[in-house]
Amino acid sequence: MTNNPYVNIWFNTNETIEKILKNEIRFNYHIPVLLTVIGGSVASAKDIYFVVEDMFLTVIVSIIFIFLAYLALLRLFPWLIKKTGGIWNGKSDINELRIVIGLAQIPALILLAEQIIFLGFGQLVPEMETNIILQWLVWIFYMRILILGTAKVQGFSIMVTFLNLVISVLPLFLLRMIFI
């Protein structure tokens, strides 16, 4: 096993998380989170432009989206997971959960690479039909890393972790339903 979490997380998830938490492998969780929210902003820029019909305003709204998504992923989501995990006496701290969330973003970097390739060919966002299988694979690996990592840092079984995560995202889901 190398000391590169971007390579190891795919198939040695538990071992990679353990080594990062013990500081045997260095990992800056801000990088994959920031790259993921930038990718999400690029993916939604076409929809934003369709609504506001002004490129400058589209850029401003995209920057605001990046900032809010970054805050949600590294401040709100770990806090919700920790508070929900308190129901079952979870033992993690916020920084450990941020590391897990950062690691879980690594599969989404494939979608960012795909967007960059499509931008190179002059298409803002790839059509859904061309990348739906890739999106599902990324989502499966994302959930795998998130569930296994949260289970490790909280000290829960997989089922309790899954329930913890579902309850944690309910407020975010409700907010989205209200505002979108």
CA distance 42 to 120: 13
What's the pLDDT band for 28 if we cut at 50, 70, 90? very high
Predicted confidence (pLDDT) per residue in 122-164, tens digit: 665 555 555 788 889 999 999 999 999 999 999 999 999 999 9
Predicted confidence (pLDDT) per residue in 65-123, tens digit: 888 889 888 999 999 999 999 999 998 899 999 999 999 999 999 888 887 777 776 66
Least confident range from 4-8, 20-24, 171-175: namely 171-175
Domain ranges of the chain: 5-179
Q: Hey, how many other C-beta atoms are within 10 angstroms of the C-beta on 48?
A: 18
Q: Is 136 left (phi over 0), alpha (psi -120 to 50) or beta?
A: alpha
Q: Tell me if 110 sits within 8 A of 141, measured CB to CB.
A: no
DSSP codes, 69-125: HHHIIIIIHHHHHHHHHGGGT----HHHHHHHHHHHTTTHHHHHHHHHHHHHTT-SS
Q: Tell me if 49 sits within 8 A of 17, measured CB to CB.
A: no
Q: Residue 17 has what pLDDT?
A: 92
Least confident range from 12-16, 45-49, 101-105, 135-139: namely 45-49
